[in-house]
Amino acid sequence: MSQFLKSKTLAGLFAIGCLLPLPQTAMAQGPDLPGSADSNGTTGTNSTAGATPLPGLPFFTMPPAAPTAPQALSAPPLSFVDVNSGRFGKLEIDLTDGQFLNGSTDKLHLTAKDMDLTQGELKSLDLELKGAHLNDFIVDKLTLSTQGALNFDTGLLFNQKMLQFRSPAEAQVTALISQDSLNKFLKAPTTLNRLSVTAGQKAAILANLLGAGAGNLGLTMETADISLLNSNKVNISATGKLGLAQLAVPLSAQVESRLFLQDGWVQVGDTKLMTAGQEISPQLSQMLVAKINNLSNLGQKSDDIHFSFTNLKVVPGKQLMVTGTAQVNRLRFGRQS
């Protein structure tokens, strides 16, 4: 009975082995039996052409895992910074060789605190300019520091590069102007032209210098040089021509004046026009004073910033410094298109 069960079991295993697929190596070259072809293509004596090799026992192994395709690294989407809705606890800008609407600056440092561009609010603004150029006039250093909370128009800031305050910003101001910068301003052709009097103007004061009946005369300034002295005094050496056409005579004079503050602005007064050590024509001195003061009043004509200086200090041969306050309506950071 046990022999019978043993034979049945072997027969069942043989049947299952026939149904299962053979391994690749077995199907390719079969078992290593006598009479099978060797690696050189020769066959044994017991082989029969076309003989089917005996199947081997099944191999119960797991199939190899399919290769995993490499996956691309995922990165967060790149988006632009929406500055229009930005809020900054502190915003600092360092700028070199800045070109603006009506001027330029060699260096600019701006610090804005608690700036909210969505609401158009600003807690404080500190501005420092070095080498600020307004037309031909040069301010070696200008500092401006606002006081109190400010409100501004965000649309104008981004569209027109202009920080427009909804109400004027009160600021403390210090301006330093060197003697060298003053001389560059005086020597500029545009400045000399503004100091001159054209021949077409009615110049009775100049006519008195050459006698009655001289007619309409002109004063042409060719060069000028300024020196800062003690007690807020200045000395201007000027050369030019006085007269009309061929009647013009060379003029070399010294203008002695004093700097002082009036209505919050720097003025020139107590002027004497000297030539060869002698004072000449007080009327001509007054005319030059009026022209010089008109040059210095250019800053008062601006609607962007209104200065009101309260202190003036002159360092002889070096610089003059003024301090005071200002009402700032707007700051422009771009040129008009």
- Of the candidates 142, 176, 210, which is a domain's last residue? 176
- Of residues 157, 182, 160, 93, the one with CA closest to residue 129: 93
Q: Which residue has the higher pLDDT, 108 or 31?
A: 108
Answer yes or no: is 251 within a domain.
yes
Annotate 205-227 with b (16+ C-beta within 10 A) or e (fewer).
bbbebeeeebeebbbbbeebebe
Which residues on adjacent β-strands are paired with residue 330?
164
Q: Please check whether residues 95 and 129 belong to one and the same domain.
A: yes
142: helix, strand or coil: strand
Q: Which residue has the higher pLDDT, 63 or 332?
A: 332
- Of residues 115, 120, 144, the one with CA closest to residue 132: 144
User: How far apart, in whole angstroms, are the C-alpha atoms of residue 169 and residue 264?
Assistant: 17
Answer yes or no: is 8 within a domain.
no
* Highest mean predicted confidence (pLDDT) among 80-84, 118-122, 286-290: 118-122
Q: Please check whether residues 133 and 186 belong to one and the same domain.
A: no
- Of the candidates 154, 176, 198, which is a domain's last residue? 176
Answer yes or no: is 45 within a domain.
no
The reported pLDDT for the residue numbered 186 is 87
Span 5-20, average pLDDT: 50
Q: Please check whether residues 248 and 165 belong to one and the same domain.
A: no
Q: Which residue has the higher pLDDT, 73 or 31?
A: 73
User: How far apart, in whole angstroms, are the C-alpha atoms of residue 148 and residue 125?
Assistant: 9
| pLDDT beyond 70 at 46 | no
| pLDDT beyond 80 at 19 | no
User: How far apart, in whole angstroms, are the C-alpha atoms of residue 126 and residue 116?
Assistant: 16
Report yes or no on whether pTM surpasses 0.85: no
Q: Which residue has the higher pLDDT, 33 or 88?
A: 88
Q: Please check whether residues 220 and 271 belong to one and the same domain.
A: yes
* Highest mean predicted confidence (pLDDT) among 15-19, 116-120, 193-197: 116-120
Work out the pLDDT band at 33, boundaries 50, 70, 90: very low
Q: Please check whether residues 136 and 155 belong to one and the same domain.
A: yes
N-term to C-term CA, the chain:
113
The reported pLDDT for the residue numbered 116 is 92
Q: Give the β-pairing of 319-332 and 137-146.
A: unpaired
Answer yes or no: is 125 within a domain.
yes
Q: Please check whether residues 168 and 186 belong to one and the same domain.
A: no
Rg of the chain over Cα atoms, rounded to whole angstroms, equals: 48
Answer yes or no: is 139 within a domain.
yes
Answer yes or no: is 2 within a domain.
no
- Of the candidates 176, 192, 219, which is a domain's last residue? 176
Q: Please check whether residues 187 and 294 belong to one and the same domain.
A: yes
What confidence tens digit (pLDDT) does each residue in 107-117 have? 999 999 999 98
User: How far apart, in whole angstroms, are the C-alpha atoms of residue 109 and residue 131?
Assistant: 12
- Of residues 323, 327, 322, 325, the one with CA closest to residue 303: 327
At 22, phi and psi to the nearest 5?
-80, 155
The reported pLDDT for the residue numbered 302 is 73
Q: Which residue has the higher pLDDT, 276 or 311?
A: 311
Q: Please check whether residues 93 and 192 belong to one and the same domain.
A: no
User: How far apart, in whole angstroms, are the C-alpha atoms of residue 149 and residue 170?
Assistant: 10
Answer yes or no: is 193 within a domain.
yes
Q: Residue 121: which domain range?
A: 86-176
* Distance, CA of 181 to chain centre: 24
Answer yes or no: is 252 within a domain.
yes
Q: Please check whether residues 154 and 214 belong to one and the same domain.
A: no
Q: Please check whether residues 189 and 282 belong to one and the same domain.
A: yes
Which parts of the chain are beta strand (E)? 87-99, 103-116, 121-122, 124-134, 137-146, 150-151, 162-178, 218-228, 233-243, 249-262, 265-275, 278-279, 305-315, 319-332
The reported pLDDT for the residue numbered 45 is 47
What confidence tens digit (pLDDT) does each residue in 165-185 have? 999 999 999 999 999 999 998
At 176, phi and psi to the nearest 5?
-120, 125
Annotate 98-128 with b (16+ C-beta within 10 A) or e (fewer).
bebeebebeebebebeebebeebebebbbbb
Task: Provide the number of structural domains found in the chain.
Answer: 2
Q: Which residues contact 295 (CB under 8 A, 6 or more apart)?
A: 191, 194, 195
- Encoding tokens for residue 104? 């330029």
The reported pLDDT for the residue numbered 5 is 47
Q: Please check whether residues 213 and 152 belong to one and the same domain.
A: no
Q: Please check whether residues 103 and 195 belong to one and the same domain.
A: no
| pLDDT beyond 70 at 91 | yes
